[in-house]
Each structure stands twice: as structure tokens, then as C-alpha cells.
Amino acid sequence: MNAIAVKAELARAAATVKRGQYANAITELTSILDRLPKEMSNDQYRGDALAWRAVCHFKLSRLDRALADFSASMDAAGASVRGLVNRGTTLIEMRRYDDALFDMNLAVQLDTDADSVDGLLGRALANWRARDFAASANDLRLALQKRPADMGLYWRCGNALIRAGLYDDAVAVFEAGLRQDRYNPGMYAGIGEARRQQRDYDAAIAQASRAITLDRSDLNPVLTRAIAYTNQASLTDALDDLGYALSVTRRGSETEGWIRLIRAVINALCGKYDVALDDANRAVDICPDQGNVWFVRGAIHSRLRRLDLASNDLRRAIAINPELSDAFDIVQSVERPITPPKAPMVPRADPDDNEVVVVPEEEKDAGDAPPSVPVPEVAKGNDAPQIENIARSAIVASPAGRGPGPAPAKAIEQWDVEEVAEWVSSRCNASRMGLGQRFREEEVTGELLVTLGPEDFAELGVTSTIQRRRLLLEISKLQATPGNQ
């Protein structure tokens, strides 16, 4: 088998891969590798054949085999930016983030092409999956320096900054994108989401509305606006947006499940628990592996005083997501609003780790050269709704559904005994336990309240460890924002 024959067979195998016939391609490539002359055991032909076969294994989710072939390919033909990014991407899918970052760092060092951003994008993804969102944003900013006209990079970088909690920086990136393309709806959608995170709901609605005007097909700004409306207690407007979103969503898709989850929360805030339960049931059917859907349905069951069903759902929610352990308190108090712990919104959530959705990168036409594997991206374009995390934000109670705080808008240290008692009664299941009256009897003022520790709360009748922890957390938040409730 000479070099010309090997090249011809590799071309045929490459065509098989491009047709999506991965199992057949693996057979062809394995045959080529078995018949390669000994003198070709460590050259580009062997490296190419192994790389093509690795791509096939990756496409078929055979990650261990893909990893082995990518490594063998570089052993045969030498390390390259593409090879390192491919292997790093495979390691990311295996959740071996430290190993992936090692490969991506090498790729960045080898990537000396002035126009290439492959290494930077690979490392940005690895950092994103490793939950280092600021580092991911830094890599995307470096990529933007190389490709200042790439609108997708503005979108990804802004999203990374949102996840890092750097909302003003995110807005600055999106505004820079608008200077490149003033009619890009994704930039307005990104600004709207950043402003929503900052609780500037008027600005969020205005920016999301501009995005919707430019592109009615993108659900991101529709949902951002719906949640902003919810936070302003404009629940009818929020339901209108969600109704539209459902009308253009494929039935049975995960997107439908998340939209129904949001709508269930809003209807529950309106006191329409039976209607909310219908949507929650559908959300559970579509997304049974997401703790939030079980949480919301359990909370709705608790409002309907179906406490056995509520307990079952809440236990299921906690089994999936232990961070929802506070859900047990809802079973004890049907008066409490639907408010699971606040989760930061991030565009593009992942079904497995609630971080990133895998959006395959378009493969460049490079003839018969081994392609890059489909690299999962932090966020690409405007075609993958940020539904999951918007849903998590929606579950956080709006002003209409949030538990009442003390009436006076002043610093917690200035509360009098009655204001403290009212606040305690509104938290957890305190009202059923008579805690408000107990705090009145002990004449606990705001100045005293901020000095209490867990043991003090226990002596005052707060027997639940979870409730004590929550009260202390809320007190610390109130201290951090004087005058706000």
C-alpha cells in the first residue's frame, strides 16, 4: 500500500464521515490503519486516519475511544492546535476540566496565527465549564482583539461576563458590538438581560423590546422581558409574552418545559394554583431530570394543601439538587411564597450541569484534512434560548409573590419591636409557631436582632436549623442593603 493509495482511501473515508455514516467510516479507517506499511507508522497519514476515526467516536459519544485516538494521532503526527483543541474538547465532555485546560493552554501557546482564535475559544470553553467565568471572558476578549467584527464573539463574551456577575462590563461589550452592527438584536437582548440582573427592570424591558422588534423569532429577549414584567408585578404582560413563546416552540421540546415552568410560577403568584399545576405537570413530564421543576410542582401542591404530594416532589427535587434543601420548609407552611434559592441567570444552560448548552461549531471546509470535533461553545449566535436559567430566575418570587417584610423602609438596626415581630412572622413557617409573639415578648428590636446567633434563635423558639440559617442569611443581606427589604 503506497502513499497514493493511502491518500485515496483516506479521501473516501473522509467522504463517509461527512455523510454522517460514522460507524461505516470507523470500519474503513480501521482497515486503512491495519494495512498501513510499517514505514508509515509514524507519519501524517497515520495521524490523519486516527484523527478522522476519533471524530467518528466523538460523534457517537464514545469519548474514551475518541480520547485514545486523538492522543495516538498526535503521537504519530505531532501536536497541533487542532489536535490539542480536539482532545481538550473531548476531555471537557468527560468533565475532566483540569486536563482539558492543560491541553487548551498548550493550544494557545502553539496558536501563533494572527487571525486564529481556536486555542482561545477552546480555553474559554474549558474555563466556562470549570466555572471560572471571568477567565472565560478574558479569553473571549483576547479573541475579540483578533476578530473585532465577529458578532458571535461579542455575544459569547457578554454572556460570560453576565455569568461572572460583571454586568456593567457585559453591557460595555454588547454596546461595543452595537458599534459594529447597530441593528443586531442579540446585543440588545444581552443588554436587557444584564440590566435585569441588576434589577433595572425598566431598562431591561426597553432593551428586550428593541431586540424583539428586530427579531421576533429569538425567545431570549421575550423571556427576559417576561421575567422583568414579573419582577414589576406586571403579571398579565408576563403571561402574554410566555403565551407567545409557547406558540412558537416545538411541542415536547425542553424549551417548552422551561417556559411552562416559568408560567407555572407566575400563575401561582396570581393564586391560580390549578392552572399553575397543569403547566408544572407538563414541565415535569418534559424535564424530569431538573430539580427546579419538581420543586415548583411541590410548592404548588403545598398551596393546594396536598402535603403528601408536595413532600414527594420536594424530596425528589432535593435528590436531584441538594441546594434546594430549604424546600422542606414549604411543606410546613402553605402561606409561604414559591421562592427557592436564587440562582444566577446565565444564557445557554446545560441539561447536565446547568452551565452551558452544547452548540456544535460549523466545520470549516479543509478538503480532506481531519476536521475539528464539534466544539461545544459558551454561547453562539442567537439560536439557542437561555431558557433554563431564565426559568431559575423566574422561580425567585416577584414583588407580588415575595413574602412581606416589615412595613418601614429603613435600616434593619432601626426597626422597633413590632417591625421585628412582623418580619419574623413573615419568614419560614414562623407564623404557625407563634415566633412573632415570642420576639415581641422578648422585646427584640432591630438593633438586638443583628447581634443574635444560632443559639439565640434556638432559645427564641426557632427549632429548625434550616430556618435559623435562613434568618441569619436574610439579616446579613438586610444589613448589606440598609433601607431595603
Q: What is the pLDDT of residue 357?
A: 26
**What architecture (CATH level 2) is domain 412-480?**
Orthogonal Bundle (1.10)
What average pLDDT does this structure show over 198-225? 92
Please, which pLDDT band fits residue 449 given cuts at 50, 70 and 90? confident
The answer to pTM > 0.85 is no
* Proportion of the chain in helix, strand, coil states, percent, rounded to 5: 65, 0, 35
- pLDDT more than 90, % of the chain: 31
Q: What is the pLDDT of residue 271?
A: 86
Please, which pLDDT band fits residue 405 given cuts at 50, 70 and 90? very low
Please, which pLDDT band fits residue 453 given cuts at 50, 70 and 90? confident
Q: What is the pLDDT of residue 404?
A: 33
| Coil/strand/helix, residue 201 | helix
Please, which pLDDT band fits residue 143 given cuts at 50, 70 and 90? very high
> What kind and span of H or E run contains 312?
helix 307-320
Contacts of 342 (CB under 8 A, 6+ apart): 393, 396
Cα 59 to Cα 44: distance, rounded to the nearest angstrom: 22
Q: Is the pLDDT of residue 331 over 50?
A: no
**Range with lowest mean pLDDT among 20-24, 167-171, 405-409, 452-456:** 405-409
CA atoms within 13 A on the CB side of 254: 17
Rg of the chain over Cα atoms, rounded to whole angstroms, equals 27
What average pLDDT does this structure show over 364-371? 45
Segments in 131-166 forming alpha helices (H): 133-146, 151-163
Cα 76 to Cα 59: distance, rounded to the nearest angstrom: 22
396 near 342, Cβ under 8 Å? Answer: yes
Q: What is the pLDDT of residue 336?
A: 39
187 near 177, Cβ under 8 Å? Answer: yes
pLDDT digits (tens, 9 = 90+) for 248-271: 888 888 889 989 999 998 898 888
What average pLDDT does this structure show over 412-418? 81
Q: Is the pLDDT of residue 380 over 50?
A: no
> Quick one: CA torsion of 339, 341, 346, 347, rounded to 10 degrees?
-30
176's grid cell:
461595543
Give CA separation, 220 vs 132, 167, 203, in Å.
23, 17, 16
- pLDDT more than 70, % of the chain: 76
Block residue for cell numbers 456577575: 165
What average pLDDT does this structure show over 107-121? 86
Please, which pLDDT band fits residue 181 given cuts at 50, 70 and 90? very high
DSSP letter string, 89-133: HHHHHTT-HHHHHHHHHHHHHH---TT--HHHHHHHHHHHHTT-H
What average pLDDT does this structure show over 437-466? 80
Q: Is the pLDDT of residue 395 over 80?
A: no
**How many Å separate Cα 77 from the centre of its chain?**
38
pLDDT digits (tens, 9 = 90+) for 11-44: 888 888 888 888 998 898 898 888 877 766 658 8
Cα 298 to Cα 280: distance, rounded to the nearest angstrom: 9
Q: Is the pLDDT of residue 434 over 80?
A: no
The widest CA-to-CA distance across the chain, in whole angstroms, is: 95
